[in-house]
Structure 1
Amino acid sequence: MTKEFENFADRVTDELIDRLQEDGYGHITVGVRSVETAGGSYEAVNVKLNGTEMAVSANLSKVYETYLSGMPMEEIAENLTHQISHTLAQMSRLDVSFITDYENVKDRLIVDLVSGNQSRNRLRDVPHGNIADMALVCKVMADPDDISKGTILINNSLLQQYGITPEQLQRDALGNAARIRPASIAPMSEVLHREPLGDDEFLFVASSPDAIHGAGVIAYPGFLDQAAQQLEGDFFILPSSIHEVILAKDNGFLHAEELTDLVQAVNQTEVAPEERLSDTAYHFDSREHVFEKAEQFAARKRRDRGKGSLLENLAEKSQRVSEEKVNRIERASTSKVKGGKEI
């Protein structure tokens, strides 16, 4: 963070405090924090309503770019204030008192798959599960019928209030998420509104019905096996974003290294830093029921082929030794018969 950016951030936070207080938000905490992502990091301005779990963040690094491009500070502060004030107003209208009672929370639990790199610092205070280099966190829908109205991340403090284990929280969240936001798998041609490819379709999109924070469906109980059945065998998983993943049939023509390069290229050019899930491609082995990084799958297959070749070589060598032993016995037997002795 440069000195120029620090000065800019200080001016923005001062402006936000003054303007938000004028809008009636007198008890707020405004600060700047670093957000790590799979593709880098950015600075975010965070506004929290004191005494509540409600907070709003905005990408300050992106705003700084508009400032360097010539946008006046007055306009920047006005736009940010409007954005944050509008979101806070929506959140304030929601009754979130239910959040402290786990019995009320259980039916609103969902899961969210995020980048392990992006969330490394935040995950210290959040119960989570690890899926390769990604992390599965649990959230509560503020409105049980509409995820667009916001979610509340379950942190260690709330978990302690609930008096349950992280394992139970994850089980409950996965089960409930699969019920209220069931996974969907659609051919890529259908998603892009193109001519169906029929039997030639090999790319599919997996997400939730609303396609919002839907990448977590890959952790749903039984999802990978169901996907393997629909795709008729093994498949690769390309983490398109936190909202969805792409499933590609393992037809023998796709290579792990090329797919990982593709994921990284798309992340750098097409996906916003805060929405990047991973820079790695993954693979699901439908026979072994193994989910792993694509490179690990490729290495495992190379080792298996190597073992096969070694076993074949040993078998051939053993056969040659056996044949040679038989030949020696036959030669010895012939020699002894010629000498007038019986075996």
Structure 2
Amino acid sequence: MDFNEFKEEVKENIKDFLPERYENASVSISEVIKNNDTKLYGLTVRMEDQTIAPTLYLEDYFNELESGKSMDYVLDHIAEVYDEASVNGIDIDTKDMIDKITNYEETKGKIVPRVVNRESNEERLKRMPHTDMGDLAVTYHVDLGNSEDGQMSVAVSNEMLDKYGVSVEELHEKACENMKEISPTSFETMVETLANLMIPDYENMTPEEKADARSQFDMPDPGMYVLSNGPKSFGAAALLDTDTMDKIEAEVGDFYILPSSVHETLIVPIREGMELKDLEAMVQEVNATQVAPNEVLSDHVYKYDSKNKEIYRADKEAEHFKEKEEKRPSLKGRIEEKKKEVKEKDSKTDKVKTKTEVRE
């Protein structure tokens, strides 16, 4: 059975595995463009009283079938996950939830940033407010909490931004502020990261227990650090945490940033004899062979400009600092300038209102 046949099988039979309340629901499978303009196919089962229903992507379930699971097993798994999402209220299938995510006052404390590749997301970015960051881009998402299958979120669209009534710069500032509370930055050695993956209950051990546990494994220290967030989900956004970036520079000195994926980056202290071209070749090879297409962040290596609080491509260092000498505003500077313009505009509006009231 190929993937197209699988999709049709799911569409025709999924209701047999769902509870009775889905009896009169309509079933559809549609193409959805995700990160890096990757195309996925999503299942939607919409009941009669729903305006919006959750979407469940089918690629992972097709992999289950190919790994030897029966079609009945896969359909039962799809039905279980789909119904659980609806029952737990994680989906956005109610008018109340739609009203909330399009109301800035209700939503502003839940908006978080993500860092993605700008060129690879050219089509998606046309429909989303974003902030360019060299060949990367920052997008914005409403965090809806966690489920069994990971973090749930809704991407902020241009239409949503219009309803919010704020600028992209204000959205960016609020998202970076929220990030520190919703998904705090995680910075640890590569050895610590590997230990967390390999040693059960490692994170709950005392320092002495951790050292003893690590000694049981052959874990040479590669001299790298992992920068992400607690959930290790879209943790490349930690690059926007300038406080942490400054602390990293103070701790390790000058460093390269290797874009491991959209979920984390690697911090590599610059050492004598280290060649940028070798690091870029390593990043490109890993992206081509180890990283899922929709999780690739970039094929380039970056550095951090602590003066201007922004990252830049390491192979374009001369151009970066030439621009700074020409006094081109940094990302932070552009945000501050935009906020100043908005305040001045609001002030003028208030003065006009006051004059009108006096005349009346």
TM-score by length of 1: 0.69
Determine the structure 1 residue equivalent to 2:74.
76
The match for 1:13 is: 11
Q: CA 1:9 to 1:93, structure 2 compared with 1: closer, same or farther past 3 Å?
A: closer
Contact kept? 2:300, 2:313, Cα under 8 Å: yes
Aligned-partner Cα distance in 2 for 1:115–1:25: 42
How far 1:259 moved relative to its partner? 1.5
Report the 3-state secondary structure (helix = DSSP H, G, I; strand = E; otherwise coil) of the residue aligned with 2:131. Answer: strand
The RMSD of aligned alpha carbons is 3.7
SS at 1:30 equivalent: strand
Could you report, residue by residue, the CA deviation over 1:235-267 in whole angstroms, capped at 9, with x for unpaired residues? Answer: 111122222111101113332222222223323
The equivalent of 2:199 in structure 1 is: none
Indicate whether 1:251 and 2:271 are aligned: yes
Determine the C-alpha separation between the residues in 2 that align with 1:28 and 1:135: 37
* C-alpha separation in 2, matches of 1:169 and 1:300: 28
SS in 2 for 1:120: helix
Is the 1:236–1:281 Cα contact (8 Å) retained in structure 2?
yes
Alpha carbons 2:11, 2:29 under 8 Å: kept: yes
Aligned: 1:172 with 2:177:
no
Letter in 2 for 1:24: Y
The one-character-per-residue Cα deviations of 1:14-44 (angstroms, maximum 9, x if unpaired) are 3336655745385566323154665x94532
Residue 106 of structure 2: aligned partner: 104
20, 44, 47: which one pairs with 2:44?
47
TM-aligned CA deviation for residue 205 of structure 1: 1.2
CA contact (8 A) 2:43 2:58 kept: no
Corresponding position of 1:181: 183
* Structure 1 alignment gaps of length 5 or more: 304-343
CA contact (8 A) 2:303 2:311 kept: yes
What residue is the counterpart of 1:216 in the other structure? 237
Q: Deviation digits for residues 217-248 of structure 1, max 9, x if unmatched? A: 10234443333222222x11112222211110
**Counterpart for residue 203 of structure 1:** 224
Partner of 1:56: 55
Equivalent pair of 1:203/1:248 in contact (CA under 8 Å): yes
The 1:142–1:64 alpha-carbon spacing in structure 2 relative to 1, beyond 3 Å, is closer
Instruction: State the structure with more CA Rg.
Output: 1
Measured against aligned partners, the alpha-carbon deviations of 1:78-137 in whole angstroms (never above 9, x if no partner) come to 332323332333335887353232112122221122343554333222111223333311
Q: Any stretches of 5+ residues in structure 2 without a counterpart?
A: 196-213, 216-220, 323-360
- Please name the residue that 2:261 is paired with: 241
AA aligned opposite 1:273: P
Tell me the equivalent position of 1:313: none
Per-residue CA distance 1:55-78 (angstroms, 9 max, x = gap):
333242x54455556654433333
Report the CA distance shift for 1:148/1:70 in structure 2 as closer, same or farther (over 3 A): closer
